[in-house]
């Protein structure tokens, strides 16, 4: 039992093939708010219920995938301490200057053992969720599409899952909340720095540095249906759902952005507490673990990554 100085996944930077098509997808269908663009042409967005300046950055590139994933930490002291702990653990870190991402303070960047670029930061400008801090209404009218509340987590694919778990548990003090095991081999791991059932997850995969999905939070199973309808109305490529995960109990639907990056919108995992023991899924039940209703994996879900 430990406590993490990491607060939450605070942003993800995704590569997209056609920037304007991507903006239409994340803004008009997923329902993020477009906040601004920077001099490099990157587009910043956020979920309506997020308080900080942005949580999604889109960068036009010639192949899709994830540039980096950022976590907010409790303060500059915590940032310095975690940087030092990462170095002590053998992780090379790099300081990205304040302002390199608009409205974001210095970021400590490093690579996970699976090759994914992760960064920690302590400061991002406050924008608010549009409801104000005094006598706020419970939700914001006029949000588009699926009305995603926030960027929630990512699932990443790579080889050294054990190394990732070790780094996140030992250095960043995440909890392992659920894992899928094939005998002694951990084939998937779900980790939390909060009371959420997962803030990041990994699946063992032959190729490092791969991106499986970025997930956005909805409020209810009825909103998952609404998202599914919107996916069909606008001919968005569906992966699978609506369904339930065995892992995390989440109610979910998976689909692809126009560049082939997978998205999830979901609701309803349980409250994780640090005195709980991790839940274990055995490989023979991996179908049920991932897609609880179907009880079998589709090939897409295992193999299509960016």
> What positions carry a catalytic annotation?
153, 198, 213, 245, 254, 264
Please provide residue 22's backbone torsions phi and psi, each rounded to the nearest 5 degrees: -65, -40
Nearer to a copy of itself by C-beta: 40 or 76?
A: 76
Contact 51, 126 (CB under 8 A): yes
Q: Are strands 175-182 and 185-192 parallel, antiparallel or unpaired?
A: antiparallel
Supply the minimum distance, in Å, between the C-beta of residue 249 and a copy of itself: 4
Q: What are φ and ψ of residue 229, in 5° steps? A: -65, -40
Nearer CB in complex with a copy of itself: 61/238: 238
What residues line the site for a copy of itself (CB under 8 A)?
A: 1, 3, 5, 7-8, 49, 51, 72, 74-75, 133-139, 141, 150, 194-196, 219-222, 225, 228-233, 235, 238, 241-244, 246, 249, 251, 253, 268, 270-271, 273-282, 285, 288-289, 292-295
Q: Cβ 208 to a copy of itself, closest distance in Å?
A: 29
Q: Are 14 and 56 in contact (CB under 8 A)?
A: yes
Q: Alpha-carbon distance 26 to 224, whole Å?
A: 16
CB of 149 to a copy of itself, least distance (A): 8
- Distant-in-sequence, close-in-space partners of 7: CB < 8 Å, separation ≥ 6: 71, 72, 73, 74, 193, 194
Q: Which is nearer to a copy of itself, 63 or 293 (CB)?
A: 293
Cβ closest to a copy of itself, residue 209 vs residue 268: 268
Backbone angles phi, psi at 199, to 5 degrees: -115, -15
Supply the minimum distance, in Å, between the C-beta of residue 238 and a copy of itself.
Answer: 6
């Amino acid at each position: 039992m430990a406590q993490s100085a990491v607060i939450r996944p605070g942003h993800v930077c995704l590569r997209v093939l056609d920037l304007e098509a991507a903006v239409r997808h994340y803004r008009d269908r997923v329902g993020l708010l477009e906040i601004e663009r920077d001099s490099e042409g990157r587009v910043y967005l956020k979920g309506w219920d997020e308080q900080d300046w942005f949580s999604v950055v889109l960068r036009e590139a010639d192949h899709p995938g994830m540039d980096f994933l950022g976590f907010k930490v409790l303060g500059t002291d915590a940032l310095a301490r975690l940087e030092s702990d990462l170095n002590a653990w053998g992780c090379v870190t790099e300081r990205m200057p304040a302002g390199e991402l608009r409205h974001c303070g210095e970021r400590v960047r490093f690579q996970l053992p699976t090759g994914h670029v992760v960064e920690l930061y302590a400061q991002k400008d406050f924008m608010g969720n549009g409801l104000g801090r005094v006598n706020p209404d419970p939700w914001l009218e006029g949000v588009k599409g699926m009305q995603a509340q926030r960027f929630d987590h990512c699932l990443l694919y790579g080889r050294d899952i054990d190394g990732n778990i070790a780094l996140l548990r030992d250095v960043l003090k995440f909890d392992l909340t659920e894992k899928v095991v094939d005998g002694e081999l951990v084939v998937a791991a779900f980790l939390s720095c909060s009371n959420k059932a997962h803030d990041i997850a990994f699946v063992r995969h032959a190729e490092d540095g791969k991106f499986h999905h970025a997930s956005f939070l909805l409020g209810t199973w009825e909103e998952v249906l609404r998202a599914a309808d919107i996916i069909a109305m606008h001919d968005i490529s569906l992966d699978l759902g609506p369904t339930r995960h065995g892992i995390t109990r989440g109610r979910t639907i998976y689909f692809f952005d126009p560049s082939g990056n997978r998205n999830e919108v979901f609701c309803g995992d349980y409250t994780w507490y640090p005195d709980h023991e991790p839940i274990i899924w055995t490989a023979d039940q991996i179908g049920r673990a991932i897609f609880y209703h179907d009880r079998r994996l589709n090939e897409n879900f295992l193999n299509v990554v960016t």
